[in-house]
Structure 1
Amino acid sequence: MDQNLDQNESDDYQDQEEELDDNMFDDPEDFVDDITDEELMDDMLAQRPEEDTSLDNIIVVDNAPIVGPDRLSKLKGVLKKIFQRFGEIVTEFYPVNENNETKGYFFMEFATHDEAVAAVNTGNGYRLDKSHIFAVYFFTDFEKYETLPTEWSPPKKEEYKEKGNLWSWLLNPDCHDQYSVIHNAGATVSVFTNTNTEPKLVMTRENWTDTYVRWSPQGTYLATFHKQGIALWGAEDFKRLGRFSHTGVSLIDFSPDERYLVTFRKALQENDSESLVIWDIKTGAKKRSFAASDATDWPIIKWSHDGKYFARLSADRLSVYETSTFYMLDKKSIVVPSIKDFSWSPTDNTIAYWVPEIGQIPAKVTLIEIPSRNEIRTKNLFLVQDCRMQWHKQGDYLCVKINRWATKSKKNLTYTFEIFRMRQALIPVDTIEMKDQPILSFGLEPYGTKFAVLHGEPPGRISFSCYELSHKGAGSSISRIKTMERKPTNQIFWCPKGKFLVLAGLKGMDGQLEFYDAESSEFILMQSSEHGMATDLEWDPTGRYVVTSVSFWSQKMDTGFIVWSFQGRQLYKNPVTLDKFCQLLWRPRPLTLLSAEDIKNIKKNSKKYHHQFDAQDRLGREKASQVIIDKRRKMMDEFSRFRHRKAQEFETAKRPTDYVEPELDEESDFEDLFILENEETEELT
């Protein structure tokens, strides 16, 4: 019985203790908790996903390989390598079935929504292999498709968005062209309007591009490079007109009609089918993609002059595609064993390609018409080491530079040019032999019949030769009209309109420039100039101006550019504000709407407008001179006011009114007094 009482007392004590413990942790009735969760767990709450945005960062990838546990880790490594190019992968999930095999789809969450968008746009349609082509969607798409209304309703008409005048720069009353400049070591891009005296700033932006910029062939768009892809800009204020997501893009190209954009990135893995992509510029749609291991021979895709066809090389094949369907022409490629290179005519749907020697079969250059694929000319060549093709701007000639072995033992090289006359019956071919003189540069005159070549051993034995490609009726001939020896140049630059050329010593030479009038057979030297250490030269679209430049990308000292007239007169240098200059590109002009007859009449009657143009040029120079004078006078006035103000401040602070002359000790020498005065003056100042 005593034991029962002890047990009861123990139970009562335990109940009282539990009740006491509960009461110890109870809050008073009037207690108010004013401590927030952020104060207690700020580090954990910072990682809390937001309900409105977290699902937008998740993608679903379908048509993935189905593998077991033994191959799952390898599959994860391959897939992660592909998709981490689009951004930071936060989490990934691979569902498995009852046999621990993957179900053929997986989930990935990116750090930002923009990275998920890039993964969907670029990853959708990615070919992992022949049996697995990814279908990539947003996770939120499933919810959207589940809640689709059962009754159809017509789509809302999209509001028209005004893009502005894409050719606004052509409305300049003085017909001044524009050019883009990359400076500040690549951090800043500016667009200027060119004048005879100094450039006028149109637009400047910091971090506009990650690498470089490029104009479209007709000057409508300015393309900039970014981590996620390409952006196109245009109109009066250079607003963004399009974005194309292609992570890691490094090279681009346009179709001649500016309808399509080609982007290239380094392949993520072997047979990456998304390394080369063709986009529709107007709609932003992806039209076709290809696998490309590298871009050594860029451009990989080459366009016909009208943009109706494009072609690319593959193993022993030349594949031609139609842009109307983006499928191969006649559903088959042109089989050409060991084909090396090809090129489209700039005015006709004609392709020229060459193949090297194969055993006893000679090398050859072949011309074929598209879409018929008819061979219209073939030229056999022997002992060929290499070929390089160049078309005349109007398609009148095809020039093929050939490096030949002098003997079958292949010890020494000789050099020849084969000139195909495209406008004559049966396309005759003329030959120019240069023998053992290496070719440094060559070029056909645009809108003309001249052919120029630099040949010889640099630096002191370089010669310049010019030939006339004349033809009368069915006959034709090539005659040398000029030869100049010991030229300090290594490149030829024809004016885009012909008649003038510049011989330049660039990249490793002293920057010597020689401006020639090539219209006459005498080849008149108009001006000799110099731009030390120049690395680049470019004509403007009209042929009135030439720019030479020293790029920061090539060397770090004395960077900048100089604008010259076509006669070799220096007009101006780059402004001092353009520090660490990198690149200058003239904005191209669209094709003229005038016929050949209209242009001929304008040239014939040009003397009628000669005095009018001279008067406008004089007036422009006078206005420019007055502007420069006013600018310098304003700067001088500002400097005078600044100097006067500083002089007054100096007189006021030089010696205060309560200054006491120090007593000179008899034993002190002149040096001690001088030190004392300096110390006091510095202290007062």
Structure 2
Amino acid sequence: MVWRNCWCKYSVTKGQTIEKRKRKRNGTVIEMKGFDINKLPATEDDIDYSDLEIEYSQTFLESGLDNVVLVDNLPVVDEAKEPKLVALLKKITKGVGKILEDGVHMPMGEEKGKRKSKGYAFIEFETADQAQDAIKELNGYRLDKSHTLMVNHFMDVEKYSRVPEEFVVPPKTEFVAKEHMKYWLLDELSRDQLCTLADQNITALWNNGGKVVETILTRKDWTETYLQWSTQGTYLMTMHRQGVVLWGGSSWNKIMRFVHLGVRLVDTSPQETYIITYSNEPLRVEAVNDVLGAGNEHLNPFTEADEGNHFCVWETQTGRLLRTFGYVTNDNGEPVTKFSWPCFKWSATENYLARMTPGSKISIYEAPQMTMVGKKSLNVPGVAGFDWRPNDDIKTRTRKNQDTIAYWFPEVDNQPGRVTIMTVPTMEILRTKNMISVKDISLHWNPTGDLLCAKVLRYTKSKKSVLTNLEIFRVSERDIPSEIVEVKGGVVAFAWEPQSPNHRFAIIHVDSADLNPPPINSSGMATAAVKSNVSFYQFVRSKSKLSVKESFVLLKTLEKKNTTSIYWSPKGRYIVLATLRTISVWDLEFWDLDAEVSGVSKAEAATASIQLLKQTEHYGVTDLEWDPSGRYVLTTASSWRHSMENGYVIWDFKGEQLLKSLQEKFKQALWRPRPPSLLSDSAKAKIRKNLSSYSSDFDEQDRVAASAANTEQINLRRRLISEWSSWRQTCSARIKAISDSAAKLGYVELKPIEQDQEVIEEIVEELIDETVEFV
């Protein structure tokens, strides 16, 4: 092996030098074990230096060659082309570290009478950290079509050269079955779970039809700040001073820990493969070592290259740190510490991770290598926002080249504002749309990824008021046509209906004068309510003999509402209009957009089917969330916002209150998410078609659930009677044993004196029925 030969020669040289110095310094002859003057080696190459290598070379090399890397799979060149190849190596390593003078050594050998390189080289950097960065950046670097570099630490050569020639079968480890990480999906009643945080206690609960919750477990001081579920509900994430901990399985054991001191925010990728953590405290390697404790420094995932960074990207299942990032900087070179979370956004396939430097560029990284796509950022002067296209198609979810990104920038100098849709990694622009008089734009992808709405807030010609254009792009169609929906005033909220064949959406819009948000107190509660309107739109395609007309039409507008948020059911059809985080209004309105109506024309049916189911309120409500099934709604009043009747309420989809729980210092309640369904659309349609065949089973489950309280009371009484009977039998047996032992000792059993008994019989008459007949 060439590497091993090179290493041995280097070790022998050092060993010889050290041994010669030792002889000269001591001035005496060292007696060597087994030395025989008559059996000297014939040549210098036959001398055995193994003892000197072990005694001197190993320590010297391990401490002095950490800054040397081995670059393999280089082109084989002759002496004439060697300088060019060395210059190329210096060029590609320029960005990762500084190479020492004469720090590139490329071994040469004789081949057919010509001196040629051996296909590898040694590069010596100034520091070990630079060598580590070179390995991260250049390992797997494609030099040309035939040569992909393999970069390793020079010390790894010695490490792998010590592997014994004979393979020793390692001892077999006993198989330990792991817990089912998605066990809650196997529940016979298809119940959903939720977690609550009150004071310092986290409680996991089963939702039994909304009216009853069954406690799974309660733990104190489980988190130091708040709790959060992973994207698909596999893990419960808790926050601590030392980092983030993931819990899961039926026993809720610790699954993984990510060390990130002072962690504040956390986010998981769409399929939970990766996790991102953020701390406002800059990373310090020594501080992490102090937390891990003496002797555990090898567990520290950070190096000096990570010093000062704030964002960490991890691999969820292995806990491996993939990369760290610092803050982005503005034009003045100052870090941008204010941002919306998540500032790193994953593509639907998890192949790419992107973040924006406001006003200048979008940086896209390929996972899991975390190398920048195209080796440079996408320069977009003035860029103000971006978002990835979602993808709910199971077949294409893991394919390459399936990701699409949309971004926008406002008017810059004389250049109009623009919305751009582009593929990644080919960077092919699919569609652009120029816009003028733009004040702000927000992007909203339809859950299926078929539609993109650009909510454009524009000035009127007079610049005294604003209006909103909803530019809706049909991305899945050829040439990506677009439609414009114009709304007077400003649209403050937009939401697509999930699983809607008609592409319905709802908006909250206000007059221009009310566009500015109301005053907010220190707890984030609005001190006044703003009157708003809620409108529903639907895509309509009408055909005639000459043309096909396609447009989004207004179905209905609800005027003079106090609505601040809109929440669609995850299954569509039902929607809740809520007034959240205000100190005076706490309205909740439950609407059905597909209510059955009769006596109306087909054209009027879409509007007439929008009906109010229930109008109610939850005092002090701050947050609202639908459960994954779309059957229940959870509203909470958090002590993080106020101290008025903190707790949670569970409603059904019709707005009927099922359960109300008031708890002191209540902070948070979250439904456990469910992963996407594995059924195809045709399979779902078949189940809906045959839903009536399952009705008898559902009716039986409902009957059992309705009598659950009575059943529980009956079981309690039966248990008490059983315990009493068992106690009575125990006492009777004890009395009998005492009586038998007393008779053996000569004690006489006293019997009651028999007396004459008198039986008294009393007849009681009771009127059972009376019939009166009139003649």
**SS state of the match for residue 339, structure 2?**
coil
Letter in 1 for 2:320: A
Equivalent residue, structure 2, for 1:286: 321
1:150-172 Cα deviation digits (max 9, x unpaired): 99975846665533110111111
CA contact (8 A) 2:262 2:281 kept: no
CA contact (8 A) 1:356 1:364 kept: yes
CA contact (8 A) 2:624 2:634 kept: yes
CA contact (8 A) 1:255 1:303 kept: yes
Q: Give, in whole Å, the separation in 2 of the partners of 1:200 and 1:289.
A: 41
**Does the alignment pair 1:434 with 2:504?**
no
Structure 1 residue 266: Cα displacement: 1.1
1:615-626 → structure 2 map (5 Å cutoff): 615-626=700-711
**SS state of the match for residue 395, structure 1?**
coil
1:616-662 Cα deviation digits (max 9, x unpaired): 11221112344368779999xxxxxxxxxxxxxxxxxxxxxxxxxxx
Q: 2:189 aligns with which of 174, 199, 202?
A: 174
Letter in 1 for 2:536: C
Q: 1:300 aligns with which of 325, 337, 343?
A: 343
Structure 1 residue 471: Cα displacement: 3.3
Q: 1:425 aligns with which of 456, 478, 486?
A: 478
**Does the alignment pair 1:312 with 2:355?**
yes
Letter in 1 for 2:633: V
**SS state of the match for residue 600, structure 1?**
helix
Equivalent residue, structure 1, for 2:469: 416
**SS state of the match for residue 257, structure 1?**
coil
1:62-141 → structure 2 map (5 Å cutoff): none
Q: Give, in whole Å, the separation in 1 of the partners of 2:504 and 2:694.
A: 28
1:557-598 Cα deviation digits (max 9, x unpaired): 200110001111111112x5x432111111111111111110
TM-score (norm 1): 0.68
1:250-301 Cα deviation digits (max 9, x unpaired): 1111111111111111142899553111111111111111112535221121
Aligned residues: 502
Distance 1:434 1:160, change over 3 A: same
1:99-119 Cα deviation digits (max 9, x unpaired): xxxxxxxxxxxxxxxxxxxxx
Structure 1 residue 514: Cα displacement: 1.0
Equivalent residue, structure 2, for 1:219: 233
Q: Give, in whole Å, the separation in 1 of the partners of 2:705 and 2:252.
A: 27
Equivalent residue, structure 2, for 1:561: 648
Equivalent residue, structure 1, for 2:531: 461
Q: Give, in whole Å, the separation in 1 of the partners of 2:431 and 2:448.
A: 19
Structure 1 residue 556: Cα displacement: 1.3
Q: Give, in whole Å, the separation in 1 of the partners of 2:368 and 2:639.
A: 43
Letter in 1 for 2:349: D
Equivalent residue, structure 2, for 1:138: none
Equivalent residue, structure 2, for 1:488: 562
Q: Give, in whole Å, the separation in 1 of the partners of 2:343 and 2:625.
A: 24
Distance 1:160 1:471, change over 3 A: farther
Equivalent residue, structure 1, for 2:309: 274
Q: 2:638 aligns with which of 551, 569, 574?
A: 551
1:492-515 Cα deviation digits (max 9, x unpaired): 110011111001111115211111
Q: Give, in whole Å, the separation in 2 of the partners of 1:204 and 1:402.
A: 47
Q: Give, in whole Å, the separation in 2 of the partners of 1:614 and 1:379.
A: 54
Q: Give, in whole Å, the separation in 2 of the partners of 1:150 and 1:622.
A: 70
CA contact (8 A) 1:553 1:582 kept: yes
Structure 1 residue 327: Cα displacement: 1.2
Q: Give, in whole Å, the separation in 1 of the partners of 2:436 and 2:175.
A: 61
Letter in 1 for 2:693: K
1:601-630 Cα deviation digits (max 9, x unpaired): 112222222343133112211123443687
**Does the alignment pair 1:361 with 2:431?**
no
CA contact (8 A) 2:261 2:281 kept: no
Q: Give, in whole Å, the separation in 2 of the partners of 1:152 and 1:555.
A: 70
**SS state of the match for residue 174, structure 1?**
coil
**SS state of the match for residue 318, structure 1?**
strand
**Does the alignment pair 1:512 with 2:582?**
no
- Indicate the larger mover: 618-627 or 150-159: 150-159
Q: 2:447 aligns with which of 393, 398, 401?
A: 393
CA contact (8 A) 2:283 2:310 kept: no
Equivalent residue, structure 2, for 1:48: none
**SS state of the match for residue 264, structure 2?**
strand
CA contact (8 A) 1:310 1:323 kept: yes
Equivalent residue, structure 2, for 1:406: 460
Letter in 2 for 1:189: I
Equivalent residue, structure 2, for 1:445: 497
Letter in 2 for 1:443: A
Q: Give, in whole Å, the separation in 2 of the partners of 1:330 and 1:169.
A: 42
Equivalent residue, structure 2, for 1:570: 657
Q: Give, in whole Å, the separation in 2 of the partners of 1:453 and 1:557.
A: 30
Structure 1 residue 439: Cα displacement: 2.5
**Does the alignment pair 1:584 with 2:669?**
yes
TM-score (norm 2): 0.60
Structure 1 residue 532: Cα displacement: 1.2
Q: Give, in whole Å, the separation in 1 of the partners of 2:553 and 2:713.
A: 50
Distance 1:161 1:615, change over 3 A: closer
- Indicate the larger mover: 594-603 or 515-524: 515-524
Distance 1:254 1:616, change over 3 A: same
CA contact (8 A) 1:261 1:279 kept: yes
Q: Give, in whole Å, the separation in 2 of the partners of 1:267 and 1:413.
A: 41
Equivalent residue, structure 1, for 2:100: none
Letter in 2 for 1:300: C
Q: Give, in whole Å, the separation in 2 of the partners of 1:273 and 1:374.
A: 36
CA contact (8 A) 1:510 1:531 kept: no
CA contact (8 A) 2:529 2:585 kept: no
**SS state of the match for residue 686, structure 2?**
helix
**SS state of the match for residue 199, structure 1?**
strand
Distance 1:330 1:537, change over 3 A: same
Q: 2:698 aligns with which of 601, 613, 628?
A: 613
Letter in 2 for 1:506: L
Equivalent residue, structure 2, for 1:237: 251
**Does the alignment pair 1:336 with 2:380?**
yes
Cα RMSD of the aligned pairs, angstroms, is 3.5
Letter in 2 for 1:435: K
1:88-146 Cα deviation digits (max 9, x unpaired): xxxxxxxxxxxxxxxxxxxxxxxxxxxxxxxxxxxx9999xx99x9xxxxxxxxxxx9x
Letter in 1 for 2:369: T
**SS state of the match for residue 614, structure 1?**
helix
**Does the alignment pair 1:325 with 2:356?**
no
1:592-603 → structure 2 map (5 Å cutoff): 592-603=677-688
